[in-house]
């Protein structure tokens, strides 16, 4: 749903959407046991607030949890979208059946969620799992967060697009594909690399090199059964991304961990937003807030 800039009007639209979905299933509000929302952070989970996310203008300490609980007449849980995505991939997707996974969103930025021993791990200020801001280079590229050398500054889609629009040579197939250097985006590079373009190949090598640095830190900190990667790596696929990435990570971690820690593409694709909300509704690690 596109935000209107009027938060409580958007909450009312959420209610209308929920009612429509229920009636499509031949159900009513009385059948709802709980509802879950996947939202851009930062959130205040204690108070059920959305706290000024950069991409939701006008949402300033909006009590979305309690407003929707009131409208639906059932308990509501909220969760930030990276954590909700991690829960969804763990419950329904690539992490099904595993105890501990790390999920990385890998689209415009790099968000992360940790499911450890079957529970979301949030840490202080819900800042656990912000692996996009782990340094992979000292004094490296400036990141959108203001620090230097963050993983996101190398493998986030927005940061990568900026670099491509600065560096791509005119003769690259990626530039031709995009219709001009200032329009080159990661998808053009992926396509050009498949067609053997030298610049695109080198860019993908660089992407995998930095991504492997990030995953090595995850391996030594958490040793999860799987690291699950969404969006850009999924679009790159097995040959361009996952096969070389696994090889590089295995060369840099202890062999017994490298042998068991899987690196997998996210499995839910376009169903992710829906299953993320459902996973939040089902997440027993967060206490349910009764209708106000
Ligand atoms: Zn950063």
Cα of 147 vs centre of ligand 1, distance in Å, is: 5
pLDDT tens digits, 240-290: 999 999 999 999 999 999 999 999 999 999 999 899 999 999 987 666 554
Q: Is the pTM of this model over 0.85?
A: yes
Cα of 280 vs centre of ligand 1, distance in Å, is: 26
Whole-number Å distance between alpha carbons of 115 and 104? 12
Cα of 18 vs centre of ligand 1, distance in Å, is: 36
Tell me how far the alpha carbon of residue 169 is from its chain's centroid.
31
Q: What is the pLDDT of residue 172?
A: 95
Q: Would you say residue 292 has pLDDT above 60? A: no
Cα of 100 vs centre of ligand 1, distance in Å, is: 25
Confidence of residue 53 (pLDDT cuts 50, 70, 90): confident
The phi, psi pair for 264, rounded to 5°, reads: -125, 150
Cα of 146 vs centre of ligand 1, distance in Å, is: 6
Q: Long-range contacts of range 4-13, CB-CB < 8 Å, 24 or more positions apart?
A: 5/57, 5/58, 6/58, 7/50, 7/56, 7/58, 7/59, 7/62, 7/64, 8/62, 8/67, 11/62, 11/64, 11/67, 11/68, 11/71, 12/71
Q: How many residues does the chain have?
A: 292
Check if the beta carbon of residue 281 is closer than 8 Å to that of residue 75. no
Q: Which residues does 98 contact at the CB level (< 8 Å), separation at least 6?
A: 90, 225, 226
Q: What is the pLDDT of residue 287?
A: 61
**Average pLDDT value for residue range 215-244:** 97
Cα of 110 vs centre of ligand 1, distance in Å, is: 9
Cα of 63 vs centre of ligand 1, distance in Å, is: 28
Q: How far is CA 255 from CA 103, 219, 221, 252, in A?
A: 22, 11, 15, 9
Cα of 140 vs centre of ligand 1, distance in Å, is: 11
Q: Would you say residue 94 has pLDDT above 80? A: yes
The residue to which tokens 């501990």 are assigned: 100
């Amino acid at each position: 749903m596109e935000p209107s800039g009027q938060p409580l009007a958007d909450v009312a639209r959420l209610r209308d959407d929920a009612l429509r979905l229920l009636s499509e299933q031949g159900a009513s509000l009385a059948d709802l046991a709980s509802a879950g929302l996947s939202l851009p952070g930062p959130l205040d989970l204690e108070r059920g607030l959305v706290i000024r996310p950069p991409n939701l203008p006008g949402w300033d300490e909006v009590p979305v949890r309690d407003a929707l609980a009131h409208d639906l007449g059932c308990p509501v849980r909220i969760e930030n979208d990276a954590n909700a995505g991690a829960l969804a991939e763990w419950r329904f997707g690539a992490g099904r059946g595993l105890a501990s996974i790390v999920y990385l969103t890998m689209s415009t930025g790099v968000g992360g969620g940790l499911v450890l021993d079957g529970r979301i791990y949030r840490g202080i200020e819900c800042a656990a799992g912000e692996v996009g801001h782990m340094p992979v280079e000292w004094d490296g590229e400036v990141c959108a967060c203001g620090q230097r050398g963050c993983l996101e500054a190398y493998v986030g889609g927005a940061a990568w697009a900026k670099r491509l629009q600065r560096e791509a040579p005119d003769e690259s197939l990626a530039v031709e594909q995009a219709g001009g250097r200032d329009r080159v985006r990661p998808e053009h590079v992926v396509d050009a690399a498949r067609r053997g373009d030298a610049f695109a190949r080198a860019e993908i090598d660089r992407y995998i090199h930095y991504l492997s640095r990030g995953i090595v830190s995850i391996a030594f900190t958490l040793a999860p059964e799987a690291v699950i990667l969404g969006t850009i790596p999924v679009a790159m696929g097995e040959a361009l991304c996952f096969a070389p990435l696994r090889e590089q990570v295995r060369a840099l971690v202890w062999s017994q961990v490298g042998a068991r820690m899987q690196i997998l593409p996210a499995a839910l694709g376009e169903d992710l937003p829906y299953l993320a909300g459902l996973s939040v509704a089902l997440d027993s690690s967060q206490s349910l807030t009764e209708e106000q």
